[in-house]
Amino acid sequence: MSYIIGIDAGGTKTKGLILSENKEILFEADAGYGNPNIDFEGAIANITEVLSKCLASPFGLDCSLVVAGVAGIEGGNNRERINQSLKRIANVPIILINDAVLAYHSIFELEDGVLTIAGTGSISFGRNGETEEYAGGWGHLLGDEGSSYDVAIQACKQMIKEKENGEHYSSLSLALMKKLNIHDAEQLKGFIYRATKGEIASLSYVVFLQAEEGNKEAKDIFARAGIDLANQTLRLIKKLKLTSPISIGCKGSLLEKNVYVQEAFKKELNKYVESINLLDSIYLPATGAYAAAKLYKPL
């Protein structure tokens, strides 16, 4: 029997799965971030770690293909360099795609629609027939609107605004200060310019706790995130020329777990799309490997 190795390499973690044709998970392995734009050597080390563990498992000899969804794969010559690195340890064909594409196929298989992902970063990917397009996915310096990173930055900017306007710090700002063990907005720079993208994004949980306590500023930040994600989704729907009813999938902590983002996202979409079918995300992204293997070819 022949199996497929699916690898989901994102900005914070990498997961490898050995899958049967019915998406049954036979083996899994985990490692750290897999986005080569964070640090190429570190990302490759994590991706090869999970691949090596899969190949060394009791099912490894029966694997005939590797499908890896890698965040930031389009940057520079990342695709060619990653392919060369993986071929050193895997004597099977390797398909390399964006991690959003892999996640898309875990939900939609080969059907048309749009997947919007809002985790540390944000991106939307969709298909209409043979046409594929992206929206977002520009990274935290150029975009990532509606992401956990963006939520954290918006909260930090509010703290700065309060400082410069001579206002008393809000409960949200005080909560962030407590988390960071600082006492003034001036000290915020030391954290922001030293921290990783993931460390900054983790501050969004502080914003969530404040929203749960009824903090209006925190709720407003999440509502803005939901609207930004909806607008990103709508741009992609327009680009793909999809018509109602439109299937939309959601992945990432903000769209799967945060009710404030979810409500704003759905409300904004309903303003412009007559009929929406929101799909539940019940499969791990790496399970999209079998469907992806039907569309994409090894290098």
Q: DSSP states of the chain as a string?
A: --EEEEEEE-SS-EEEEEE-TT--EEEEEEES---TTT-HHHHHHHHHHHHHHHHHSTTGGGEEEEEEEETTTTSTTHHHHHHHHHHTT--S-EEEE-HHHHHHHHHHTT--EEEEEESSSEEEEEEETTEEEEEE---TTT--TTSHHHHHHHHHHHHHHHHHTTPPPPHHHHHHHHHHT-SSGGGHHHHHTTS-HHHHHTTHHHHHHHHHTT-HHHHHHHHHHHHHHHHHHHHHHHHHT--SSEEEEEESHHHHH-HHHHHHHHHHHHHH-S-EEEEP--S-GGGGHHHHHTT----
Segment 112-131 mean pLDDT: 94
pLDDT tens across 216-275, in order?
999 999 999 999 999 999 999 999 999 989 999 999 999 999 999 999 999 999 999 989
Confidence of residue 198 (pLDDT cuts 50, 70, 90): confident
Q: Domains in the chain, ordered, with CATH? A: 3-97 (3.30.420.40), 112-282 (3.30.420.40)
Reported pTM? 0.91
pLDDT tens across 16-65, in order?
999 998 889 999 999 999 999 888 999 999 999 999 999 999 999 999 99
Confidence (pLDDT) at 281: 78
Confidence (pLDDT) at 1: 61
pLDDT reading at 278 higher than 70: yes
